[in-house]
């Protein structure tokens, strides 16, 4: 468990450094317990804001969040001197956005998508676990959540009978 003094320093660092601020999901990753779950919830308003854009635009937004995340998460981790700090949740933002590509945003789908994404992100079935252990840096931080999002997306589409 992090010390209170370290948590205070981290909060000040995250809230004053733009790289950390984004990597920590606009501060949502500062929650001391379950930051990945909180980060996964924190992206939902952004997903709702994009619900009426065309599929191509939403997919481009997912790609931009993912590619920018490689730099942001990698740089934040390097500045903090850790491989993947639990508070870095930008990767959850990308994974959750991917989960909802071309999915109607009903309450049922939101709950299912959230549960599926968290399940794949936590359990890390093959090849997610392999990639999480083998790929370093910002790409490694992002890639396991991108894959968890793709797995959740596939399941959500299967459950809904949606096919692109």
156 by Cβ neighbours in 10 Å (0-12 / 13-18 / 19+) ranks as buried
Calpha distance 67→162 (Å, rounded): 26
- Would you say 120 and 152 are in contact if contact means Cβ atoms under 8 Å apart? yes
- Would you say 92 and 144 are in contact if contact means Cβ atoms under 8 Å apart? no
Reduce the secondary structure of 100-111 to three states and give it as a string.
Answer: CCCCCCCHHHHH
In this prediction, residue 8 carries a pLDDT of: 58
- Would you say 91 and 145 are in contact if contact means Cβ atoms under 8 Å apart? yes
Alpha helix positions (H), the chain: 4-16, 18-23, 35-42, 44-49, 55-80, 90-99, 107-123, 128-134, 137-160
149 by Cβ neighbours in 10 Å (0-12 / 13-18 / 19+) ranks as buried
| Residue 28 DSSP class | G
In this prediction, residue 6 carries a pLDDT of: 47
Calpha distance 40→54 (Å, rounded): 23
For the chain, give the number of residues: 164
pLDDT tens track, the chain, 164 positions:
444 444 555 788 888 999 999 999 999 999 988 999 999 999 999 999 999 999 999 999 999 999 999 999 999 999 998 888 999 999 999 999 999 999 999 999 999 999 999 999 999 999 989 988 899 899 999 999 999 999 999 999 999 987 65
In this prediction, residue 5 carries a pLDDT of: 45
């Amino acid at each position: 468990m992090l010390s209170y003094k370290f948590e205070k320093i981290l909060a000040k660092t995250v809230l004053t450094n733009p790289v950390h601020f984004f990597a920590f999901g606009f501060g949502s990753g500062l929650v001391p317990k379950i930051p990945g779950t909180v980060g996964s919830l924190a992206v939902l308003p952004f997903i709702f804001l994009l619900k009426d854009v065309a599929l191509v635009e939403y997919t481009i937004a997912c790609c931009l969040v993912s590619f920018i995340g490689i730099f942001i998460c990698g740089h934040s981790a390097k500045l903090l001197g850790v491989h993947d700090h639990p508070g870095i949740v930008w990767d959850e933002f990308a994974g959750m956005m991917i989960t909802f590509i071309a999915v109607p945003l009903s309450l049922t789908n939101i709950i299912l998508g959230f549960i599926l994404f968290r399940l794949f992100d936590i359990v890390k079935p093959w090849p997610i676990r392999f990639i999480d252990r083998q790929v370093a840096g910002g790409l490694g931080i992002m890639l396991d959540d991108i894959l968890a999002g793709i797995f959740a997306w596939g399941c959500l589409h299967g459950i809904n009978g949606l096919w692109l």
